[in-house]
Amino acid sequence: MTDQLDLFVVHGQRAGTVFSSTGKAVNRPPCEEQTTGLREPARRTDPLSSKLAAADVEKSGLRRHQIEHVVAVVKAYPGMTSRELSMMCPTLDRYTLARRLPDAEKLGLVTRAEKMKRCSCSGRLALTWRAN
């Protein structure tokens, strides 16, 4: 792989110093900011492997596809917890679904319900979701 393919942005930076998969610092020119307004796909404290995976999910469009899938599931099953929704969505595991719900919320596609309910899977009180 070349440095062009596997660069990732250090949390909070849009231009300047980035790092390749080998950990080598590389300068890059400023780039256009994403218009989605979503949080950075990886935290500053995440290991390099997580940052590379997050960059791949973002670059490939998989993150956007997962968000669209999550919104469709919430529309089909409103008022469910993220764990309950994951039982209705065999193509996404519960952790991916739980990551994409806040992304969809930030985009204004889903909303957290004001009241919590007892999750039928875990037995704990949990947030529920509805589509906008």
45/90 same-domain check: no
Which residues of the chain fall short of a pLDDT of 70? 1-37
Q: Which residues contact residue 31 at a Cβ distance below 8 angstroms, ignoring those fewer than 6 apart?
A: 14, 15
Give the model's pLDDT for residue 89.
87
76 lies in which domain range? Answer: 62-131
pTM, two decimal places: 0.67
Give the model's pLDDT for residue 22.
54
44/28 same-domain check: yes
Please, what is the angle between helix 62-76 and helix 94-106, to 10°? 90
What is the domain-level CATH number for residue 127?
Answer: 1.10.10.10
111/126 same-domain check: yes
Strand partners, 27: 17
User: CA quadruple 50, 106, 87, 58: dihedral positive or negative?
Assistant: negative
Identify residue 35 by its one-letter amino acid code.
Answer: T
| Domain assignment present for 1 | no
C-alpha to C-alpha distance for 5 and 64, rounded to whole angstroms: 19
